[in-house]
Structure 1
Amino acid sequence: MKTQDFLSLITEHQDKALLFEYAPNKLVGANYHITEVKHITIDSVDCGAQTDSWKETIIQLWESPLDILNTKYMNAYKALAILKKVGTMKPYTLDAEVKFEYSNSNFHTAQLYVNDFEILNQNIIIKLGIEKTACKASDICGFAETVIDKVESCCTTESGCC
């Protein structure tokens, strides 16, 4: 989901509670806070010596131990107010992918993609997921996109990779 799409979604549903599902049927606690918004530029070189760059917006969610008894989720109106204030200080790249950084005692710290969302009663449920790593130079390195029984190293002198 792009940053603009997320901002539009919560603008359209400001009266609803904003919930985040970080794994199937597992919600970020109602005691969460938005503690940081990162405007990231990635400049990369892959194993095929190809360069790439892109931007991401990363919104950090943190469960406050001081609010552990809180059962009322933040509404989209409050989240939007926080994100608008951030945008006045550091403008968003609206076509940047939005991710959410989160962890708890049972879930490792991860930057999670938005896979989908659901409007259910008075809730917006943002369904997050982990993206698997992939070889971006698979065509150059000779890796098929399907599972291969025998994989030879792409990092040989003859391969043109690495």
Structure 2
Amino acid sequence: MKTQEFFNLLEEHKDKVLQFEYATNQYVAANYHITEVKHITIDSVDCGSQADRWNETIVQLWESPAEAFKTNHMSVLKAFGILKKVGQMKAYDLDSEIKFEYSNATFHTAQLFVNDFEIRDNNFIVKLTIEKTDCKAKELCGVPEQSKDTPINEEPCCSPTGNCC
């Protein structure tokens, strides 16, 4: 989801409570804080020697151990206010992908994509998902697309006999 699209949803639902589902039926606890907003520029080269560049917005969520007793989640209005204040200090690339960085005692630190959202009662629930890593240069490196019927390629793109890197 693009940053602007996310902000539009917050604007539309600012009377709701903001919750994050980081895995199926697993929610960021009510004691979460928005601890950092990162405006990231990725400047990369893939295994097929192709250069690429893009921006991302990464919002870090942290559960405060000192507030583990909390039962009320942050309002959409408060979260949107925090994000707008950040935007006054450092401008967003509103066309960039927005991700949420999160972890807890049982869930590894990950940058999660916004997969969907749901309105349930007075809750605006942001459904997050993990995206698997992938080779961007499959065609260039001769890596076939996998289907359910295709066995796993035994010789990876960047193997000594591969034709990239």
Q: What TM-score do you get using the length of structure 1 for normalisation? A: 0.95
CA 1:158/1:123 → structure 2, altered by over 3 Å: closer, same or farther?
Answer: same
Q: Report what 2:154 is aligned to.
A: 151
Distance in 1 (CA, whole Å) between partners of 2:160 and 2:65 is: 53
Shift of 1:143: 1.0
Does the residue aligned with 1:145 lie in a helix, a strand or coil?
Answer: coil
State the identity as a percent. Answer: 62
- For the pair 1:28 / 2:31, whether they are aligned, the reply is no
Aligned residue for 2:6? 6
1:80 is paired with a residue of what secondary structure? helix
Partner residue of 1:53?
53
Structure 1 residue 117 displacement after superposition: 0.4
5+ residue gaps, structure 1: none
Structure 1: how far apart are the matches of 2:114 and 2:65? 25
Shift of 1:128: 0.3
Q: Supply the distance in 2 between the matched residues of 1:21 and 1:155 (Cα, whole angstroms).
A: 36
Moved more, 143-152 or 72-81: 143-152
Runs of at least 4 residues of structure 1 off by over 3 A? 147-150, 155-160
Q: CA RMSD in A?
A: 1.3
> Secondary structure at the residue paired with 1:119?
strand
Structure 2 regions of 5+ residues with no counterpart?
none
Which residue of the partner structure matches residue 99 of structure 2? 99
The normalised TM-score by structure 2 is 0.94
Deviation string 1:37-73 (CA, Å, 9 cap, x unpaired) is 0000000000100011110000000000111111001
Distance 1:48 1:12, change over 3 A: same
Q: 1:157 to 1:22 in 2, by over 3 A?
A: closer
Matched residues, number: 162
Q: Give, as a single letter, the amino acid of the residue that structure 2 aligns with 1:41.
A: T
Taking the aligned partners of 1:130 and 1:153, their CA distance within structure 2 comes to 23
